[in-house]
Chain A
Amino acid sequence: MSILGTRVIRTEDPRLLTAGGIYVDDLREPELDGAARATFVRSTVAHALITGIDTSAALEQPGVIAVLTAADMTDLPPPPPAGEFDPDAPAVEGPLPLGGVWSEPLLAVDRVRFVGEPVAIVLTDSTYQGEDAAELVSVDYEQLPAVPSIEAALAAGSLLFPDAGTNVCQKGGQDTSDESIFDGCEVVVEGDIVNQRVACLPMEGRSTAAAFSGGKLTVWASTQNAQLSRLILTAIGLPPDAIRVVAPDVGGGFGAKIGVDRESIIVAWAAKHTGRPVRWVETRNENLLAMTQGRAQELHIKIGGSRDGHIKAYRLNVLQDTGAYARMSGFLPSLTVLMAPGVYDIPAVQADYKVVVTDGTPIAAYRGAGRPEAAATIERAVDWFAAEAGLDPARVRKLNFIKPGQFPFVTKTGAPYDSGEYEAALDKVLAKAGYEELRAEQRRRREAGAARQLGIGLASYVEVTAGDAGAGETCKIDVHSDGTATVYTGSSAHGQGHHTAFAMLVQAELGIPMDKVEVIHGDTDLIPDGVGTYASRSLQLGGSAVQKAALEVKDEAARQAAALFEAAEADVVLDADTGLWQVRGDPDKSLTWAQVASEAEGGTLMANVRFTQAMPTFPFGSQLSLVEVDTETGKVTLLRHVTCDDAGPVLNPVLMEGQRHGGIAQGAAQALCEEVLYDADGNPLTSTLADYGAITAAELPSFELVTSETPTHLNPLGVKGIGEAGTIGATPAVQNAVIDAVSHLGVRHIDMPLTPERVWTAIQSAGLRRHVREASAK
């Protein structure tokens, strides 16, 4: 029986549970002996010209090796020349930073654009010395008016990049000016929705160690992809061949560790520049100031349809705050636009986006990256529409779902959905949750005028995974003469369980038991070519690559076995349960993998492949959230969360559930409590974990998961991505639940996070509106 689909506990865990992981700060490699500690001096103001940097006092401190600023970076290759800027030009392809006038420096040169921007790097013998010395670097700023919000950016009273002449750095999407799409709509809702800025907050912050010797740079980085990091690190003027990047254990990424940031490049440069190994491990304060953050959109919606619940038209205008630098240009909102209509067959859809720079921390991918914003908005819009029409939100969803027979389905925004069973997923969730009983209990509480009201929130979502399916993923498998196998994957683990999943695939195909399969990732010397982990791509691309490589190894082994058996290749078979090679019809003769591999050239059977996929996949699901709202205080308690997340056949339920659990918690956290805040001068107000309200076990219930497996035809495993689905569904489900709890009081929308004060204020305002309406009716 195949191991695929069974509950296999992780092979990664024993080491992590007894000795702890080896993260960058734990590395004791000989190359890092005597490594200097790097401490960054960061901008304390949001927007200013740098008029002077005095490093003399810091240099006198004990243990200080060097204090380096942009002025010291004379040994870097010159940046590419700035081209003409045209804000109406099409978006940069892919998640790439904008160059030209929008370029981001390494250390700040003459201007800072956000609090936390690196201005100087202090190298010391120890961490303690570094913090003391960094405090003594004196930077003179001539402050400029801050651009603390999208509104301020659009007003253009202050320009972050004066050469650009605007704070709008990208525009895209469709023409959204055609009002006629709402003609004939009996119910129309129009409103503004904020998808707030949140911190990605992996438990391990960013960290990098670098050593330069003999013309070769070795960089250990907490990254989601060593190979991309290597490419980025060529910025210090070395060719890729002269750089080795290693990803040791990585303490979470969530999108914010795709490649490496400017700090890592500076650390690598400092190691090369000084000839001394350098290690940098950021503090949480730095992490909350300068690691890229997520979401940060303001959206305007208009949705219209018939009184009986058929949605006819949907319009979405996205304003993306990209922070101080356009790290991902228009990529995130272009995904929001692509996924705008969600799971619904809406006859007319218009969506566009505009990206502005502000002096917030730069925005980049965060678990979902552009798709959660789309799902949160359409799901909010559908609920809003349903409430206005006086219809049950489950019913409105079912009326408008794309039906199973319509796949493959191309949306009005151009998304080519591969497969889906949207109504079935919702039905499963409704059944598991006991939807009708919950509605009955809600009615009872409403009729009793209870202080604590019940809210039931639904979200039906579809998302896009492996967006860059064509880039694929690499895998090399060696089967050794001792019968063990080594898997070299271009994918990159940081908690997802790649090693377990990929070993399972090898066992399933080759019959080599998991404990004889070693999985290696994240070392460019061993795996020069690889893509990495993001966009929920690892199993469908990386896993399919493992399977493809395994099949190639198997073919090669069959040839060897046939020669050994002196049989026809077609008669040689592998028993995948025992891992033994046999000749058909002759059960007495068999060969082990060790025997077959020993006969191969060099004693190793080898396959080296890249798996690419024709198109991205579109996992989907439904989630139901049950909340209690204390209407006297606005406090929300999440009571239950039921989900059906369908990403095709499940390779290992243990891992899949883990991804969903984590995703749900992060999604719920955005809905309930997490938000990065700035004051009017662009000063961050949430730069410690005491202020940034990361969700804990005490705020969450256990989750109830329902299974559904609809395969895709796009890869041989039939699988789609699951890493981000939980997050994408959970945010709108929780938000809709809270608003549902107080909708009978006249509340139609509350922006996230649904803090007590926001909820309470919404109840008060709705009460006031009702009061005024009733008074004027008399």
Chain B
Amino acid sequence: MIPPAFTYRRASSADEAIALAAEYGDDAKYLAGGHSLLPLMKLRFAAPSVLIDLGRLPELSYIRDERTYVAIGALTRHHDVQHSPVLAAQIPLLAHTAGRVGDPQIRHRGTIGGSVAHGDAASDLPAALLALDATFVARGPSGTRSVQAAGFFKGIFETDLEPGELLTEIQVPKPAVPAAWSFQKFTKRAIDWAIVGVAVQGHAIALINMGTTPLRATAAEAALASGASIADAAALAAEGTSAGSDIHATKAFREHLARVLVKRALEEAGARS
């Protein structure tokens, strides 16, 4: 299957990309790795008339240790996040999670920024970044701004990014205890999207595919903060979620899985630290 016709424009700098986006307006889409967008276009679920390729912006592909946080260029590929020594030492949750996205071929193309900007509640990395309290840096025609992960994911495939704004950097604060992490991805097959997933860093718990956006399990977190046991906190994991039913699982089963996986994640994070 073939995408509908479009005009391809390759940006040679972030500024040029932003200028092109401004020029073409709503008809244009940024193309990073393309592994979310191109399949949708091939199935003709999406038909932008202009694609602005960000693939040649080495300025946005980096992983830098910035003392209190790690700065990751939005166009850093999953493969590079997965194999980053900086992340392995400082934020192992993120390196591990990147290694669970898709398959090796997809990780050679897909980017962390693309995954975040796509805003899919079923994606792995957005939830991990939510658990890590990451900050997203966006640049637009009117300048640069930072958005906390907690306020970034707005709805189904909807983020806080304005039209034409480009996600440029992800800043991930170094956790106090890097080893206190766990990533639980529940799938039928290894390659599948998570039916439910859980990312835990310390006492922060984020859920994959339990609503229209990645979510924090706030009730469980609050319980932990007030001294509840892991089992008691995990029992609250599905509070405030709005999971859907589909061919892979019913809402009720997803809620059950969320409770089981949060318990396992907290136990594993505790055991690691």
Query: Footprint of B on A, CB under 8 Å?
Result: 127-128, 131-132, 135, 283, 285, 632-633, 635, 673, 677, 685-686, 688, 690-691, 693, 695-696, 698-699, 755-757, 760-761
Please measure, in the bound complex, the distance between the C-alpha atom of A755 and the C-alpha atom of B257, giving whole angstroms.
13
Please measure, in the bound complex, the distance between the C-alpha atom of A686 and the C-alpha atom of B257, giving whole angstroms.
23
Please measure, in the bound complex, the distance between the C-alpha atom of A684 and the C-alpha atom of B140, giving whole angstroms.
42
Please measure, in the bound complex, the distance between the C-alpha atom of A690 and the C-alpha atom of B261, giving whole angstroms.
24
Q: CB distance A633 to B257 under 8 Å?
A: yes
Q: How far is the CB of A671 from chain B (nearest CB, A)?
A: 13
Known: A127-B2, A131-B2, A757-B249. A696 touches B186 (CB 8 A): no
Q: How far is the CB of A696 from chain B (nearest CB, A)?
A: 6
28 A-B residue contacts at CB 8 Å?
A: A131-B2, A132-B2, A132-B4, A132-B5, A632-B260, A633-B186, A633-B261, A677-B247, A688-B43, A690-B39, A693-B189, A693-B192, A695-B189, A696-B189, A696-B190, A696-B191, A698-B190, A698-B191, A699-B190, A755-B188, A755-B248, A756-B195, A756-B249, A756-B253, A757-B249, A757-B250, A757-B253, A760-B256
Q: How far is the CB of A679 from chain B (nearest CB, A)?
A: 9
Q: How far is the CB of B258 from chain A (nearest CB, A)?
A: 11
Please measure, in the bound complex, the distance between the C-alpha atom of A698 and the C-alpha atom of B185, giving whole angstroms.
15
Please measure, in the bound complex, the distance between the C-alpha atom of A131 and the C-alpha atom of B44, giving whole angstroms.
10
**Is B176 an interface residue when CB atoms closer than 8 A count as contact?**
no
Please measure, in the bound complex, the distance between the C-alpha atom of A271 and the C-alpha atom of B250, giving whole angstroms.
48
Most central of A128, A633, A635, A755 by chain B CB within 10 Å: A633
Chain A residues near B195 (CB-CB < 8 A): 756
Please measure, in the bound complex, the distance between the C-alpha atom of A202 and the C-alpha atom of B249, giving whole angstroms.
27
Please measure, in the bound complex, the distance between the C-alpha atom of A673 and the C-alpha atom of B188, giving whole angstroms.
7
Chain B residues near A691 (CB-CB < 8 A): 247
Most central of B4, B188, B190 by chain A CB within 10 Å: B188
From the candidates A632, A673, A757, A760, name the one contacting B189 in the complex (CB within 8 A): A673
A673, closest chain B residue (CB): B188
Q: How far is the CB of A141 from chain B (nearest CB, A)?
A: 19
Please measure, in the bound complex, the distance between the C-alpha atom of A120 and the C-alpha atom of B254, giving whole angstroms.
42
Please measure, in the bound complex, the distance between the C-alpha atom of A457 and the C-alpha atom of B43, giving whole angstroms.
41
A673-B189, A685-B247, A756-B249 provided; 18 other pairs, C-beta below 8 A? A127-B2, A131-B2, A283-B1, A632-B260, A633-B186, A633-B260, A633-B261, A677-B247, A691-B247, A695-B189, A696-B189, A698-B191, A699-B190, A755-B248, A756-B195, A756-B253, A757-B250, A760-B253
Please measure, in the bound complex, the distance between the C-alpha atom of A290 and the C-alpha atom of B189, giving whole angstroms.
25
- Which B residues between 191 and 250 are near A, CB-CB below 8 angstroms? 191-192, 195, 247-250
Please measure, in the bound complex, the distance between the C-alpha atom of A685 and the C-alpha atom of B246, giving whole angstroms.
10
- Which B residues between 248 and 273 are near A, CB-CB below 8 angstroms? 248-250, 253, 256-257, 260-261
Please measure, in the bound complex, the distance between the C-alpha atom of A283 and the C-alpha atom of B43, giving whole angstroms.
11
Please measure, in the bound complex, the distance between the C-alpha atom of A154 and the C-alpha atom of B110, giving whole angstroms.
49
Chain A residues near B39 (CB-CB < 8 A): 690
Please measure, in the bound complex, the distance between the C-alpha atom of A755 and the C-alpha atom of B261, giving whole angstroms.
17
Chain A residues near B261 (CB-CB < 8 A): 633
Q: CB distance B247 to A285 under 8 Å?
A: no
Please measure, in the bound complex, the distance between the C-alpha atom of A699 and the C-alpha atom of B190, giving whole angstroms.
7
Please measure, in the bound complex, the distance between the C-alpha atom of A686 and the C-alpha atom of B188, giving whole angstroms.
15
Q: How far is the CB of A630 from chain B (nearest CB, A)?
A: 9
From the candidates A128, A131, A635, A699, name the one contacting B186 in the complex (CB within 8 A): A635
Q: CB distance A756 to B247 under 8 Å?
A: no
Please measure, in the bound complex, the distance between the C-alpha atom of A699 and the C-alpha atom of B188, giving whole angstroms.
9
Known: A693-B192, A698-B191. A686 touches B186 (CB 8 A): no
Chain A residues near B249 (CB-CB < 8 A): 756-757
Chain B residues near A128 (CB-CB < 8 A): 2
A692, closest chain B residue (CB): B247
Chain B residues near A755 (CB-CB < 8 A): 188, 248
Please measure, in the bound complex, the distance between the C-alpha atom of A698 and the C-alpha atom of B2, giving whole angstroms.
29
Known: A131-B2, A135-B44. A698 touches B247 (CB 8 A): no
Please measure, in the bound complex, the distance between the C-alpha atom of A673 and the C-alpha atom of B195, giving whole angstroms.
14
Chain A residues near B250 (CB-CB < 8 A): 757
- Which B residues between 15 and 43 are near A, CB-CB below 8 angstroms? 39, 43
Q: How far is the CB of A335 from chain B (nearest CB, A)?
A: 30
Chain B residues near A633 (CB-CB < 8 A): 186, 257, 260-261
B4, closest chain A residue (CB): A132
Please measure, in the bound complex, the distance between the C-alpha atom of A756 and the C-alpha atom of B187, giving whole angstroms.
9
Chain A residues near B257 (CB-CB < 8 A): 633
Chain A residues near B253 (CB-CB < 8 A): 756-757, 760-761
Q: CB distance B1 to A699 under 8 Å?
A: no
